[in-house]
Structure 1
Amino acid sequence: MPDDQRPYPRRFALVGIALAIGVLGCSSSQADSDAGWQTLEVTATSFTLAEEETKQGNIGLTAFGDQLEPGDKAIAVSRDLIRLGLTHGTKVRVEGLPGTYTVQDKMHRRWRNKIDILFKKRKRALEWGRKNIEIQYQVADAG
């Protein structure tokens, strides 16, 4: 059947197929999962809940008043990062580590552009050491 006699010319059918492939081929979950996240390069160190690494007499008590437990996915941030939006409760993805961490502590004023990651085991914390990495943090809704 010639194109001029078809209810929809062939070129419209091809456009429709191309649009359907484009829509189905995109992973909206990936786009949605990255929406509202900012990227930042920081220095990352590690700590555990050993008394010599935390407040003596108040093991696991953070500057925000949270009580950390071994195995929590928590980080402390330098105070300059708080001004950038890494406030208490902010969700953070840490390059090289699985899952999402939560800002639950803040560091001494002397530190800049730095995070401190809570590890359950001292051996793992020492293996992590000090690294320059990229993090992603979830930006709070303005509304």
Structure 2
Amino acid sequence: MNKFRNLLLIIAALFLISGCIGEEKTISMKVTSTAYTSQVAQTSSHPFLGAWGDELKPGMKCIAVSRDLIPKGLTHDTKVKIEGLPGEYMVKDKMNKRWTNKIDIYMGLDTKAAKDWGKREVTITFEKQD
């Protein structure tokens, strides 16, 4: 009887461990995307300062995220792949509380590029941090 109980305990432990090991860390989700520039009218009186205190510079590949995405894993300095754009972007800014399920792609001072991007739905992929 003890052997059977021990076997059941081992099987239960293996189930628990396999659940932790198999946890998916790569997350993909659809979000609304827009673009912004370091213009006072689009940001704040400090257009080159991100909400986490990072200095934004034209040419940087970074994004702002709506605050509801932060608990889902899009925290400061998370690397993000954006459908339709090459390379990886870093989360360096937060958006106003009124936005949900949205990212804003930083375009430096290139207002034309931001307008050309417009508003579109994209799939983003990122690794969830522990």
Which TM bucket (shorter chain)? 0.7 to 0.9
1:80 is paired with a residue whose SS is: helix
Superposition map of 1:1-143 within 5 A: 36-56=25-45, 58-120=46-108, 121-140=110-129, 142=130
Instruction: Measure the CA separation in 2 of the matches of 1:138 and 1:69.
Output: 25
TM-score, normalised to structure 1, is 0.71
Could you say which structure has the greater relative contact order, defined with CA pairs below 8 angstroms and 6 or more residues apart?
2
1:117 is paired with a residue whose SS is: strand
Tell me which protein shows more helix as a share of its residues.
1
Instruction: Name the larger-Rg structure.
Output: 1
Q: CA deviation at 1:37?
A: 2.3
TM-score, normalised to structure 2, is 0.78
Q: CA deviation at 1:66?
A: 0.6
1:53 is paired with a residue whose SS is: coil
Q: Which stretches of structure 1, 4 residues or longer, exceed 4 Å deviation after superposition? A: none
State the one-letter code of the partner of 1:73. Answer: K
Question: Unaligned regions of 5+ residues in structure 1, if any?
Answer: 1-34
Give the alignment's Cα RMSD to 1 decimal: 1.2
Instruction: Measure the CA separation in 2 of the matches of 1:83 and 1:101.
Output: 18
Instruction: Measure the CA separation in 2 of the matches of 1:66 and 1:135.
Output: 22
Q: CA deviation at 1:87?
A: 0.3
Residue-pair matches, total: 106
Q: CA deviation at 1:104?
A: 0.3
Q: Deviations over 1:49-76 (max 9, x none)?
A: 12211211x1211111111001110100
Instruction: Measure the CA separation in 1 of the matches of 2:120 and 2:77.
Output: 23
Q: Which moved more, 1:116-125 or 1:83-92?
A: 116-125
Instruction: Measure the CA separation in 2 of the matches of 1:37 and 1:99.
Output: 16
Identity %: 47
State the one-letter code of the partner of 2:65. Answer: V
Q: CA deviation at 1:36?
A: 4.0
